[in-house]
Structure 1
């Protein structure tokens, strides 16, 4: 296969790892989150440093206590180095809802996911991640209820994505 085509295939696979992580976090699908990492991966988030199992144990109660999150990936640059790669993806994520007293809720933050990706047995995944928080702003008092009935995101099997997937299986 032509090397330029293989580079494109590898870069796309790496981008899908980052997007898989975002979908998993936003849908509270921690098996999906885990699939974005190698089993011995390390994660560094604001307030956390540890392995993937520790990260999931740390983040699950935080995300389960709030109404939802939505991660958007913007600029994404991938540098290939054989079976290793550097992935830098800009992210803006919004967190909303939840009870008082659980810490910061209703906020948006800008961050960069700086990932050491590694290809093992033909599969790209995160070997080490630095979630570099660049800024955070409070959105308290800015959220409003939807203007009318319609589809709503859910963090379980009743989400429209899950329903569509089930209909096609």
Structure 2
């Protein structure tokens, strides 16, 4: 029995769609990293300059969204956005991406427990490829449910790396990374 070489049967159109899909989902992943690390420069790379975000309590362009997020995220010791299934529909240079997720927000041991909550959400994004790069043109951050986690915060049991909502996070200080010294943010 012989097997065909890898890639045989995959046409250029199918390969392009796979690459496009991967680039689109990486925008969503980069967005989550940017919000959880409060890396607003990285966040800006997720949206086209005229992109619009529609969150609970906010609608506006990327500049106003970043200003709003700085204020909102200041009340938290941290957030964590986890992405589940993603459905991507591509039509040329425009795509619709629906990403299911869960976001946990916590105020920390000294914060106000009213800000401790977890929500189930969907990012419903219209992505556009401009100048060869996929970014968000419009986002509907749709909250499907929210659960209060007031008073549920628990500190770590011992020493070890601690995540931080800033460039002080261990992610930015991994020894030996980037190997070439010039890796692109979020890649």
Same fold, TM-score > 0.5, yes or no: yes
Show the 5 A alignment for 1:1-80. Answer: 2-80=12-90
Are positions 1:86 and 2:120 aligned together? no
The normalised TM-score by structure 1 is 0.94
How many residue pairs get aligned? The number is 167
1:51 positional shift: 0.9
1:107 positional shift: 0.3
Separation (CA, whole Å) in 2 of partners of 1:50 and 1:36: 15
Matched residue of 2:138: which SS?
strand
Matched residue of 1:71: which SS?
strand
Q: 2:149 aligns to what? A: 139
Are positions 1:152 and 2:162 aligned together? yes
> 1:165–1:121: structure 2 CA closer, same or farther, 3 Å change rule?
farther
Are positions 1:125 and 2:135 aligned together? yes
Q: 2:184 aligns to what? A: none
Q: Is the 8 A contact 2:39 2:167 kept in 1?
A: no
Give the greater-gyration-radius structure (CA): 2
1:142 positional shift: 1.4
1:167 positional shift: 4.2
**1:68-117 superposed Cα distances (whole Å, 9 cap, x missing partner):** 000000010100011000000001000001643xx941100000000000
Separation (CA, whole Å) in 2 of partners of 1:52 and 1:95: 22
Query: RMSD of the TM alignment (CA)?
Result: 1.6
Q: 1:105 aligns to what? A: 115
